[in-house]
Copies of this chain bind each other. A is one copy, B any other.
Amino acid sequence: MIFASDNWAGAHPAIADNLVAHAQGYVSAYGTSDLDRSVERRLSEIFEREVAVFFVGTGTAANSLALASANRAGGVVFCHREAHVNVDECGAPEFFSHGARLSPVDGEHGKMAAARLKAEIRRFPPEFVHGGQPMAVTLTQATESGSVYSLEEIETLASIAQSHKLPLHMDGARFANALVSLDVTPAEMTWKRGVDLLSFGGTKNGCWCAEALILFDLSKAHEMHFLRKRAAQLFSKSRFIAAQFEAYLAGDLWLELARHANAMARRLAEGISASAESRLAWAPEANEVFVILKRELAARLQQQGAVFYDWPVPHHLAGSLTENEGLYRLVTSFATQAEDVDRFVAAC
């Protein structure tokens, strides 16, 4: 009953096996092998246009390099207050961007509210040198709250970004989970709606270590080669990432894995909804379920081997928990078993 995070799972067998399959033989290093090239081409197909692909080791690296490519002196990046870049990356975006600032934008369910984004950007008028200058907007899809931006919501944020000439980055650490949740194409969820840069995550969805920064604007690719190398993210045996992605994308394995994780989340949600004692904090849209449990129950579950984290109670929920209740996050993954879900639900 491990619901701690999708990164507690290991690697999907097909992905681990493909690494072994590519272990032998010599290929050219630093991302120049045929395998690297073929995965890059496959991503262009998947996104229905030529894209520039940069394999990196971590989602934090992909996010931070994306923002670094938009760098301006005194630059300000707009993101949701709970975004991974703002809360969980130890200042990497700021470091990669030489001191750019993250300006948190509020909004329900982990999504930036359009009006709040506009208001935040307006705090930095173009000619007022003292405050700094807007530099980029970044949204997380699926969000840290397990919600998913609709295509219309993405388009709205993109148009705000565009009106200020700011690139729009999407942190897609859980890109596949959001994609199958919306049941749209990768192109529809990104560049067709105004996304300029994408952190395309594989690690949380069944890879060992496979992240790709995808640029829809090819004019930024030249500089990105140097940004990535300077950030120590150009891997000599790059094929070890390419091989993971090859298996991940083959036969739409990635979508299948995400559908499984999301289904497990729904199963959890439905089970808990039916419980007398426990309840959902809000409905999940991807693979993260937020539940309100009696603290006593949570402790008992943890004694029984369940692993999950408690979560800060957002303002809009503040009044609706009793003293004895806590908010908890349950994350499912490609590896989650229905039996574990059912055991958990049964105990709730």
A: residues with CB less than 8 A from B are: 2, 4-5, 7-13, 15-17, 19-20, 22-30, 56-61, 64, 68, 72-76, 87-92, 94-102, 129-133, 203-204, 208-209, 223, 225-227, 229-237, 239-240, 307, 335
Q: Are B75 and A232 in contact (CB under 8 A)?
A: no
Cβ 8 A contact of A88, one of B130, B204, B231: B130
- Given A16-B23, A73-B227, A209-B240, A95:B92 Cβ within 8 A: no
Name the B residues within 8 Å of A223 (CB-CB): 72-73
Number of copies: 4
A95 to B76: give the CA distance in the assembly, Å. Answer: 12
Shortest distance between the CB of A344 and any CB in chain B (Å): 14
Shortest distance between the CB of A169 and any CB in chain B (Å): 15
Q: Are B8 and A27 in contact (CB under 8 A)?
A: yes
Name the B residues within 8 Å of A88 (CB-CB): 130-131
Cβ 8 A contact of A100, one of B12, B91, B130: B91
A73 to B25: give the CA distance in the assembly, Å. Answer: 33
Name the B residues within 8 Å of A72 (CB-CB): 223, 226
Q: Are A10 and B29 in contact (CB under 8 A)?
A: no
Cβ 8 A contact of A240, one of B90, B208, B226: B208
Cβ 8 A contact of A7, one of B131, B236, B307: B236
Shortest distance between the CB of A209 and any CB in chain B (Å): 5
- Given A95-B98, A223-B73, A237-B10, A129:B229 Cβ within 8 A: yes
Cβ 8 A contact of A203, one of B11, B74, B237: B237
